[in-house]
Amino acid sequence: MTSPLAAVSGVWKRYDSRWVLRGVSLSIGEGDRVFILGSNGSGKTTLLGIMAGLIQPTRGSVSYSCGPLKRCVGYSGHYPLLYEDLTVEENIRYYSILYGVDPGRVMGSSLWESLSLDNVRGLRVSQLSYGWRKRVDIARATLHSPQVLLLDEPFTGLDEDASKSLAKLLLDLSRSGVGIVMTSPRPDREYVELATRMYNLQGGVLGNAV
């Protein structure tokens, strides 16, 4: 059996006196598409933040077998990590150079095409709707070809066509071996159809979804 790409081992997280996560363990293998369902404030974003290395767990650990965390993981949070006063192209160019990726390759990729980002290439992010910002942010999160992709509510704000394109894209990525973790407060069709495993995060405990 090959070792998982990512292993979350007994992660606990406390904010002040409130335990948000209670001993969460999870392993992500190649091609896995994991969906974590949980109500607002259930700790989904905290779990993804810990997996992305943005939040320190109170107890427990996260390990990756696919290389250094920042090269191995792609993260798209609830708020797109884009600069509003820069254009889409400038944002992608900026992140590409810092990740050591050729910006031309990113903007000529199938991902770029499938998300129809050429239509908004020259527009400032501040001029885009939330759905378009989300698309650009997913392009940002995947530009360095991560082995593990962490997506916080990736389908939120997307129209039908964009949702279909994103679902296809995530399917293609997982077929190429990328492990994907998605979270949402609702068990929407896109997540359920796409997921190979589903979990329910409730009261800080991760359980199998029915």
Partner 1 sequence: MEMLYRAVKWITVLVWKDLLLDYRNPMSVTTQLIFSIGAGVLAGVIYRSSIWPPESLIPATLSIVLVFQAIFASYNSFLREAESRTVEGLRLLPVGPEIVYISKFIYSIANIIIFTYLFQLSILFFTWPVRISITHVFIWILLASLYLGGVSSLSSAMMIYSRTRGTLAPMLILVLSIPFFQSSTEPINILAQGYMPQPGWHIPITTLGLGFLFTSTILAKYVLE
Binding site for partner 1 (CB under 8 A): 52-54, 68, 70-71, 73, 75, 77, 79, 81-86, 90, 94-95, 97-100, 124, 144
Q: Which is nearer to partner 1, 19 or 94 (CB)?
A: 94
Angle between the N-to-C axes of helices 88-98 and 130-142, in degrees from 0 to 180, rounded to the nearest 10: 20
Q: Report the alpha-carbon distance of residue 74 to residue 152 in Å, rounded.
A: 11
> Residue 6 CB, nearest distance to partner 1 (Å)?
15
Q: Which is nearer to partner 1, 36 or 150 (CB)?
A: 150
Q: Which is nearer to partner 1, 124 or 197 (CB)?
A: 124
Q: Which is nearer to partner 1, 56 or 208 (CB)?
A: 56
Q: Which is nearer to partner 1, 95 or 199 (CB)?
A: 95
> Residue 168 CB, nearest distance to partner 1 (Å)?
25
> Residue 79 CB, nearest distance to partner 1 (Å)?
5
Q: Report the alpha-carbon distance of residue 200 to residue 69 in Å, rounded.
A: 25
Residue 74, helix vs strand vs coil: strand
186: left (phi over 0), alpha (psi -120 to 50) or beta: beta
Q: Report the alpha-carbon distance of residue 61 to residue 206 in Å, rounded.
A: 15
List the one residue out of 126, 135, 176, 125 whose CA is nearest residue 155. Answer: 135
The single-letter DSSP state of residue 2 is: P
Residue type (1 letter), 188: D
Q: Which is nearer to partner 1, 23 or 77 (CB)?
A: 77
> Residue 4 CB, nearest distance to partner 1 (Å)?
21
> Residue 192 CB, nearest distance to partner 1 (Å)?
28
> Residue 98 CB, nearest distance to partner 1 (Å)?
5
Q: Is 5 exposed, middle or buried (0-12, 13-18, 19+ CB in 10 A)?
A: buried
